Structure 1
Amino acid sequence: MSALPEPAKAVALRFTRELTPLALGAWAAQCEQALAGGARLLSLFGRRDGDDVIVTAVLLPAAGPMDILRGRGPAAEGYPALTARFPSAQVFERELWEQTGIALHDHPWLKPVRFEGARQTRLHEYPFFQVRGQEVHEVGVGPIHASVIEPGHFRFMCHGETVHHLEIQLGYQHRGVEALMLARGPQAMAGLAETIAGDSSIAHAWACCAALEALGGAPLAPEVDRVRGVALELERIAMHLAALTGLATDIAFLQGGATYGRLRTAIINATMRVCGSRFGRGWLRPGGVRFGITPALRTDLLQTLSDFGRDFHQVNALMRCARTVRARFQGVGLVSPEAARDIGLVGVAARASGMAFDTRERLPGLLYSQHPVAVQAEADGDCWSRLVLRMREIDASLQWLQALLAAPDLALEAPALRPPGPLYHDTLCVSLREGFRGPVLHALETGADGQLLQVKLQDPSLPNWFGLALAVRDNEISDFPICNKSFDLSYCGNDL
């Protein structure tokens, strides 16, 4: 085989022999050059190979396809940390250090991300930043919460009621998803991917399936992508509605809380009528989809979406016109466009701060090239912007779904599953899908025998938790619940 087949734009496929690793210092310098030239750091990860560490940076230039840079060198030698100049690298480099032990020189915030391996018993040693002053006090919340949510510790440094700094410590779950996927192998990976973050089951399953299909040389019929797109946009609508429900409930706007919750139920029940699961579990599998959309289901979905749209626009008007809602959200939890860009926010959190970046537009693949979706953005970066942006994104997904489902010439009854063949040898595949929080990334690498060497998973929550900490600064501590819900991040998406 002389060349790999051309993958969709949302997937990058490279022979590892073509990724000639640079020395770590030269690799870091090349990454710096790319970032200084306007490239976006999508991911940075590594693995041990004896005393060496193999590091991989996935970059997206201002134009063109994804770029992959690889370095290799002794872990003890390391390299000058990128974070000092490009803060968007901070959490990636912290994870790299925690997982491989690589030396990162002059990293300003080198703290564990998940307390993996031998560090699991040392959570109590987390080096919290401290704010000193006669009237400064700390408020600790969690890791066990009064609500039915996952564990996480939030430590507020306050002067009076004003938060001057929030530090978020996660890593309590130790699920070991990447190791489990590597041990179980390709046949079980899609089912495991659906459990990485339950509210992003479709996004993670699609990213996983696309990576396996690219590595296994499995071409797909266009109707498979269409059905997957329907699944993903239904998930986006449902989960944005969950955030809107929480935001309305947190400020006791009962009309919104009750109505958004009811509308979310209508959407996830529609998903269940197609595939048997309200969260889309079991719908997507490598080589296709297990359930197509029959003419009867198309009619059912179109009627559901029509009824939904009417009620959704009515409750949006109530929310946006209420002075109490505007007073509570506007100017609260601000992340400026400059800060959002510097710390590398992604997805809704980034677009609400003026960064109109959506991989459905930037890396559309065949589906979104033929059926583009309108990218939404807001400029102010506060809780109000994140609220309104979710409304607008739901509306865009609604219009996209109605246009696709109503088109009589577009087949949506998926063909039989055609599982991928043996995986290419010595190959790295990086797959991206724009979930409701932002880009979901799955990277799979095979060795000389075609077996998986590394599985790297990335939920958009990982780079966004620091954005939440920044948003709370200079706000009253009572503003934290709405700031938190406006970001709507995943604990389990971080604690892989």
Structure 2
Amino acid sequence: MGPFESTVLAPARELATLPLAGWAEACTQALDAGGRLVALFGRPDGDEIVVTTVLQSAGAGLSLLRSRAPRGAGYPSITARHPAAQMPERELWEQTGLVPEGHPWLKPVRFEGPGAPRMADYPFFTVRGQETHEVGVGPIHASVIEPGHFRFMCHGERVQHLEIQLGYQHRGVEALLLTRPPLALTSLVETIAGDSSVAYAWGYCAAVEALAGVPVAPEVELVRGVALELERIAMHLAALTGMATDIAFLQGGASYGRLRTAIINATMRVCGSRFGRGWLRPGGVRHGLGDAHRRALLGMLSAFAKDFAEVNALMLGARSVRSRLQGTGILTPLAARELGLVGLTARASGVATDSRHDLPGRLYTEQPVALLTEDTGDCWARLRLRMREIDESVRWLQQALESPAAALCADTLVPLGPLEPDTLCVTVREGFRGPVLQALETDAHGRLLHYKLQDPSLLNWFGLALATRDNEISDFPICNKSFDLSYCGNDL
């Protein structure tokens, strides 16, 4: 596979294994040189821990670094020089016991396994001073959102610091994925984060196809791309609906909700599910795009684009909207880069990163997608960028649906044989929140040895905490919806 592929396959025996301290130094040097930390995870192997780092060098593809160390060993924290490593190192510590010595914020991520009974002992940061007080919200909320605890440290009504404690949704997904045959996991993978069903399913399918040595046809990739862009539009519309509702711009809330229904109903007419479940399967897709489906989708998109432009003009032109969103929840470009934020959250703060652009693979090389950014990093920027990304997805879909390849994909699945033994496969697919990473490693018999998941929410929650500082506490719902992160995607 080429250097800019979104799927990377590596025989485990060919991966150089460094001593733990040397591995940490190699990671630090790669980041010093302008590289990006994509993922960092470990797995047990007897009395030792095998650690894997996924890096992306500037202007290049993905690369892998490995280490092996006894349980409980320590290493110099990468976070001390590169804050982007703070959350992956915390997760590695919680899951394996490897200690990042000198980590400035070493706290539990999701209270896995034996840590679950100790959630009440979470070491919250404390702000002291006259007229300083704390406001605790959740984990049970007065709406249908998922459980999470938010601890606001305030001076009057102004937030000095926000600490977010998650873990209430922890389901043990990574361990559960190892209990079933590797080719029968799609229905489970689709429910890891239900609003990103297609992104997760595509990454999983690509991984097992690569491990089985069975490439899929270009038209299959095109249909998967269509499914993913429909999912992106639908979920950006859900966030726009929430933002409009939170600021009482009811015309926007009602219109975006109606438009979202048109998108998810179109998905349902193709595959039988409004969330795209059952559409993708290893070896292909269960539902192609016949002439009738393509004509219906193109007609729907044409009508959608007209209505979407009208409601956007109303939203962007309203003084009340600008007053509530401009300058609220600012996340600076420097903070976004240093924290290693990803997806729309990073792009709204001027960080030009999108795996469809950085790791385009065959599909997005042949059918490019524009890389869009905003500069102000506030709720207004995140609102505008969602609108622009929807417009770009509509343009991409219209081009894809009118291409000759769109008519070639039938409802057939190529059978997959055994998976390659002793092999690591990493896939990255750009969901609507950002890159969804999945890493599958097989043992000597071709069975799944390890299944690692990383939702973009894991990397972005700390960005929400930072963006909330120096805002009125009443601004938090708007900030929260503008990020639109996943609780269950973080907790797994």
**What TM-score, normalized by structure 2, do the two folds share?**
0.98
- Residue 421 (structure 1) aligns with: 417
Distance (whole Å) between structure 1 residues aligned to residue 269 and residue 366 of structure 2: 27
Structure 2 residue aligned with 1:47, among 30, 43, 47? Answer: 43
Distance (whole Å) between structure 2 residues aligned to residue 445 and residue 292 of structure 1: 30
Q: CA deviation at 1:412?
A: 4.5
Distance (whole Å) between structure 2 residues aligned to residue 60 and residue 190 of structure 1: 27
| Matched letter for residue 185 of structure 1 | P
- Residue 473 (structure 1) aligns with: 469
| Matched letter for residue 429 of structure 1 | C
Counterpart check, 1:438 vs 2:451: no
| Matched letter for residue 254 of structure 1 | L
Distance (whole Å) between structure 2 residues aligned to residue 161 and residue 8 of structure 1: 48
| Matched letter for residue 297 of structure 1 | H
Structure 2 residue aligned with 1:229, among 222, 225, 228? Answer: 225
Distance (whole Å) between structure 2 residues aligned to residue 359 and residue 351 of structure 1: 12
Q: CA deviation at 1:408?
A: 4.3
Q: Secondary structure at the match of 2:407?
A: coil
- Please tell me whether the aligned partners of residues 73 and 97 of structure 2 are also in contact (alpha carbons under 8 angstroms): no
Q: Secondary structure at the match of 1:45?
A: strand
| Matched letter for residue 24 of structure 2 | A
Q: Secondary structure at the match of 2:185?
A: helix
Q: CA deviation at 1:75?
A: 2.7
Q: CA deviation at 1:48?
A: 1.8
Q: CA RMSD in A?
A: 1.1
Distance (whole Å) between structure 2 residues aligned to residue 412 and residue 121 of structure 1: 54
Structure 2 residue aligned with 1:216, among 206, 212, 215? Answer: 212
- Residue 16 (structure 1) aligns with: 12
Note the 1:250-329 alignment, pairs <5 A: 250-329=246-325
Counterpart check, 1:358 vs 2:346: no
* Structure 2: runs of 5+ lacking an equivalent: none
Q: Secondary structure at the match of 1:341?
A: helix
- Please tell me whether the aligned partners of residues 357 and 369 of structure 2 are also in contact (alpha carbons under 8 angstroms): yes
- Residue 28 (structure 1) aligns with: 24
Q: CA deviation at 1:406?
A: 2.0
- Residue 153 (structure 1) aligns with: 149
Distance (whole Å) between structure 1 residues aligned to residue 405 and residue 72 of structure 2: 60
- Residue 178 (structure 2) aligns with: 182
- Residue 38 (structure 1) aligns with: 34
- Residue 372 (structure 2) aligns with: 376
Distance (whole Å) between structure 2 residues aligned to residue 11 and residue 414 of structure 1: 24
- Residue 93 (structure 2) aligns with: 97
Q: CA deviation at 1:409?
A: 5.8
Distance (whole Å) between structure 2 residues aligned to residue 315 and residue 296 of structure 1: 29
Distance (whole Å) between structure 1 residues aligned to residue 371 and residue 78 of structure 2: 30
- Please tell me whether the aligned partners of residues 158 and 471 of structure 2 are also in contact (alpha carbons under 8 angstroms): yes
Q: CA deviation at 1:464?
A: 0.2
Distance (whole Å) between structure 2 residues aligned to residue 410 and residue 283 of structure 1: 15
Closer, same or farther: CA 268–397 of 1 in aligned 2, 3 Å: same
Closer, same or farther: CA 22–330 of 1 in aligned 2, 3 Å: same
Counterpart check, 1:198 vs 2:194: yes
Counterpart check, 1:239 vs 2:235: yes
- Please tell me whether the aligned partners of residues 76 and 102 of structure 2 are also in contact (alpha carbons under 8 angstroms): yes
Q: CA deviation at 1:173?
A: 1.9
Structure 1 residue aligned with 2:400, among 404, 417, 420? Answer: 404
- Residue 338 (structure 1) aligns with: 334
| Matched letter for residue 417 of structure 1 | L
Deviations 1:123-180 (A, max 9, x none): 1010000001121100000000110111100000000000000000000122111111
Distance (whole Å) between structure 2 residues aligned to residue 444 and residue 104 of structure 1: 25
Structure 2 residue aligned with 1:349, among 312, 327, 345? Answer: 345
Distance (whole Å) between structure 2 residues aligned to residue 259 and residue 333 of structure 1: 25
Q: CA deviation at 1:185?
A: 2.6
Q: Secondary structure at the match of 2:373?
A: coil
Deviations 1:264-297 (A, max 9, x none): 0000000000000000001000000000011001
Distance (whole Å) between structure 1 residues aligned to residue 421 and residue 214 of structure 2: 15
Distance (whole Å) between structure 1 residues aligned to residue 316 and residue 224 of structure 2: 32
Equivalent pairs, count: 492
Q: CA deviation at 1:188?
A: 2.5
Q: CA deviation at 1:183?
A: 1.0
Q: CA deviation at 1:411?
A: 2.9
- Residue 144 (structure 1) aligns with: 140
- Please tell me whether the aligned partners of residues 182 and 447 of structure 2 are also in contact (alpha carbons under 8 angstroms): no
Q: Secondary structure at the match of 2:44?
A: strand
- Please tell me whether the aligned partners of residues 7 and 13 of structure 1 are also in contact (alpha carbons under 8 angstroms): no
- Residue 445 (structure 2) aligns with: 449
Q: Which moved more, 1:419-428 or 1:265-274?
A: 419-428
Percent identity between matched residues is: 69
- Please tell me whether the aligned partners of residues 420 and 446 of structure 2 are also in contact (alpha carbons under 8 angstroms): yes
Closer, same or farther: CA 455–154 of 1 in aligned 2, 3 Å: same
Structure 2 residue aligned with 1:462, among 458, 466, 470? Answer: 458
- Please tell me whether the aligned partners of residues 3 and 60 of structure 2 are also in contact (alpha carbons under 8 angstroms): no
Deviations 1:459-488 (A, max 9, x none): 100000000000000000000000000000
Counterpart check, 1:88 vs 2:49: no
- Please tell me whether the aligned partners of residues 3 and 62 of structure 2 are also in contact (alpha carbons under 8 angstroms): no
- Please tell me whether the aligned partners of residues 161 and 476 of structure 1 are also in contact (alpha carbons under 8 angstroms): yes
| Matched letter for residue 462 of structure 1 | L
| Matched letter for residue 198 of structure 2 | I
Structure 1 residue aligned with 2:391, among 392, 395, 403? Answer: 395
- Please tell me whether the aligned partners of residues 181 and 188 of structure 1 are also in contact (alpha carbons under 8 angstroms): no
Distance (whole Å) between structure 1 residues aligned to residue 116 and residue 144 of structure 2: 23
**What TM-score, normalized by structure 1, do the two folds share?**
0.98
Distance (whole Å) between structure 2 residues aligned to residue 411 and residue 300 of structure 1: 13
Distance (whole Å) between structure 1 residues aligned to residue 296 and residue 130 of structure 2: 63
